[in-house]
């Protein structure tokens, strides 16, 4: 999407830009950014999109909302995704996606304009894993992360037997790009709003075919590895997850919350919401989720250019289970909607 495709209201306060960069393998990758046009950015937010998705159209609403809240927002279409080069949705090596993201985000964070700003990761679904793997490579670099229904563990009931994994590995070496991995329709399972589903299906940059063999294998082994090392997560983070998510089990986010050694961590669970809780829900649900995200970021955006250990964020040693704030309760009382919060830190 170009600036001409955006509404006048969006353009009045936000500057949108696109740029192609080249990765270490010589491939052209699409990047985009939403910047506050009328003020200095509070901090930078780096977007990591989900499997088969892209940034400029699907994550436009996220970019616009965060830019309107005062943040400089940067996105990159991963190799084989969106407008970037590569075989469509073919993941040959998951680490390549992570390193491409690290390289681009670091170039932004260390530019003259933003080197003194706090920096945050924002990852949805598979992008949540990308964000956590970026953090693993740069453990003291980021001031925090927002994780939306992250794909960081395979639910026990669908976890394949080790023999199946072995067979999948061998087949992925022989016919890596074959689209023969069985899967149900993710769009129908992830996005509640029928109109939003139609918009997603109409987006030519979103992959809607079956996963390729090698892609399936890379997603599987990456999730299994992440599950084993959740205790290494140390940065401040917010996890938001719909309780009715059928794509990534909410128990996965609960496990991340309990396993991570982060002293500043928050888990918010939303009743009756699905996987696409920042896009595929009714407007009032989306407003609630982004209100929580922006509030969380706002409390942590003053740690300019410093790693979390030096930010001197006020922390609490006790985790408390609480209902959402009284103010949010009043706003949504008529909808009988609430969120549950597990919180350790602010």
Question: What is the maximum alpha-carbon separation in the chain?
Answer: 58
Tell me the pairing of strands 72-76 and 320-323.
Answer: unpaired
64: left (phi over 0), alpha (psi -120 to 50) or beta: alpha
Cβ neighbors of 151 (< 8 A, separation 6 or more) are 50, 51, 125, 126, 128, 129, 219, 223, 248, 252
Q: How many CA atoms are closer than 13 Å to the CA of 203, on its beta-carbon side?
A: 24
End-to-end CA distance of the chain: 37
Task: Give, to the nearest 10 degrees, the angle between helix 126-137 and helix 213-228.
Answer: 60
If one counts every other C-beta atom within 10 angstroms of the C-beta of residue 141, the result is 18
Closest CA to 178 of 206, 139, 151, 217: 217
Quick check: helix, strand or coil at residue 17?
A: strand
Q: Show which residues are catalytic.
A: 125, 245, 275
Are 251 and 233 spatial neighbours (Cβ–Cβ below 8 Å)? no
Which stretch of DSSP H or E encloses residue 118? strand 118-124
Give the chain's radius of gyration (CA, Å).
19
Cβ neighbors of 111 (< 8 A, separation 6 or more) are none
If one counts every other C-beta atom within 10 angstroms of the C-beta of residue 56, the result is 24
């Amino acid at each position: 999407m170009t600036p001409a495709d955006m509404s006048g209201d969006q353009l009045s306060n936000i500057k949108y830009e696109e740029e192609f960069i080249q990765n270490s393998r010589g491939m052209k990758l699409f990047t985009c950014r939403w910047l506050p046009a009328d003020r200095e950015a509070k901090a930078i937010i780096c977007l990591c999109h989900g499997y088969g998705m892209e940034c400029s159209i699907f994550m436009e609403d996220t970019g616009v909302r965060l830019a309107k809240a005062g943040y400089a927002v940067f996105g990159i279409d991963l190799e084989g995704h969106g407008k970037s080069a590569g075989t469509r949705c073919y993941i040959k090596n998951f680490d390549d996606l992570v390193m491409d993201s690290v390289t681009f985000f670091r170039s932004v964070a260390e530019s003259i304009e933003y080197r003194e700003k706090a920096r945050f990761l924002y990852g949805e679904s598979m992008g949540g894993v990308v964000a956590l793997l970026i953090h693993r490579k740069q453990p003291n670099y980021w001031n925090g992360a927002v994780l939306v229904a992250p794909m960081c563990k395979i639910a026990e009931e669908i976890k394949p037997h080790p023999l199946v994994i072995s067979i999948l590995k061998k087949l992925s070496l022989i016919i890596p790009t074959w689209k023969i991995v069985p899967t149900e329709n993710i769009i129908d399972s992830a996005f509640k709003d029928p109109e939003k589903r139609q918009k997603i299906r109409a987006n030519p940059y979103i992959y809607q075919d079956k996963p390729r063999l090698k892609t399936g294998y890379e997603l599987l082994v990456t999730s299994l590895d992440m599950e084993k090392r959740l205790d290494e997560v140390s940065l401040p983070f917010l996890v938001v997850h719909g309780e009715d998510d059928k794509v990534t089990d909410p128990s996965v986010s609960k496990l991340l919350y309990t396993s991570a050694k982060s002293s500043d961590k928050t888990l918010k669970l939303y009743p009756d919401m699905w996987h696409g809780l920042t896009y595929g829900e009714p407007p009032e649900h989306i407003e609630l989720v982004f209100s929580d995200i922006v509030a969380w970021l706002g409390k942590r955006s003053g740690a300019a250019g410093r790693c979390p250990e030096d930010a001197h964020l006020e922390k609490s040693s006790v985790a408390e289970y609480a209902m959402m704030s009284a103010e949010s309760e009043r706003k949504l009382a008529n909808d009988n909607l609430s969120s549950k919060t597990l919180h350790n830190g602010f």
